[in-house]
Structure 1
Amino acid sequence: MFGIAAMFSALRYLPLADAVAIAFVMPFIMLLLGRYVLGETVGPRRLAACTIGFIGTLLVVQPSFANVGWPALLPMVVAVIFALYMLISRQTAKEADPLALQAMSGMLATPVLLLVLMAGNLADWPGMTLVTPTKSEFLLLASIGVLGTFAHLLMTWSLRFAPSTTLAPMQYLEIPFATAIGWLIFRDLPNGLAAVGIAITMAAGLYVVYREGKSLEPVPAEA
């Protein structure tokens, strides 16, 4: 809930491609959490790639921060929260049914969000005023619910049937897709510095994925 709220808030201030690219510091955070929390082995090359990828993310953040201020850091919050979410999903997806997992998440989130909305409305917090959506807004909200649910189910199923090293490179397709959609719908494109940062982040992330794949390859048995 906090991660999605932070991402929605970021999209009010940042171009789609910038917000997604900044949030893609998540794989580097997952790698560090794997080393320092789960005790996984992470070599110096992957640590160096993490550092380079983080520098690339800062190149995306810098012009955004200059334009909008602290909201440019919201995708970083998203990255930390979803890194923790993915680590938990890795453990539960192996044993729990994806449909049951998704349904339980929604059942837990709905009453909590209703309580937050009611409290915010009573306290007159900014952005918490109840508004009746128009017909077109309702259709957009319904589309968000359907697409979001389907996307989460696909992610949960993929974690159940395929190793993360196979899936991780496909996640980076989200950045060019976000860039294309942002341009087609909102006519937003990353500026020069942000574009360089996006390229560095993608390259570092793909290198991390490559090294993880190499580390998981079985050692040939001696003759």
Structure 2
Amino acid sequence: MSKPVIACSMRIKNVAMWIGDSLSETSKLADHIVILDDGSTDNTPSICRKFPKVRYYRQFCSISDQVRDKNKLLKYTLALNPDWVLALDGDEVLEKKAASKILDEIAEIDPQNPQHTIFRLRLLYFWNDLNHYRNENSKWGQFWKDALWTTWGQNLNTLQFLPSGFAENHHCGRIPKGIVGNRKDIDVWVKHYGYVYFWQRKQKAEFYLRTEKKPSYLNLINGNAEKGMILEEWKERV
């Protein structure tokens, strides 16, 4: 079987701190990287355009809506006829062994009758610095997410992102609704940098409080999110 076509889709905004590293690692795996930039005002656009595999789209919308944007991104991605689609955020970086591991897993899948159609990857929440990640038995330390799915055996016309019920359709998920088949956790780690520094956590807590009116996000800055925290030193796996 010839190498399957892999596309990566990203909805991003103001991720200049991380997007270069993210695209460098993702380019080792993906044939196409489809980016929808929701109005970045930092150096994100110029960094993205340096990578030849990137198909870059930029928009400026007065109202934020994740479902609207992710359905638009899905349309752009499926137009490339990928066999597999990887969904990442702009503040996420694949570990160095990710490309070979994912290709090994895909090689085990039967395109005519896929045993698994969704792969779940482990997100490592880096905390306080770039050398340590959360590794306790909590939602922060053991966080697995649907992130890679195949078009094999799917009715692509029925796939879509649906309203989440949250303000601005936050938390609508990484992959579209309507994918049929089984999930599998695979031993691939993704370095998630969106909560590394306290100022980032404070910014997110205030954003969600303002948009969703939910004080629970204040746990990010009042210490509750760190109860029982175990920090593990990061070392690339080979």
* TM-score grouping bracket, smaller chain normalisation: under 0.3
Higher RCO (CA 8 Å, separation ≥ 6 residues): 1
Q: Between Structure 1 and Structure 2, which shows a larger proportion of strand residues? A: 2
* Length-normalised TM-score, structure 2: 0.26
TM-score using structure 1 length:
0.27
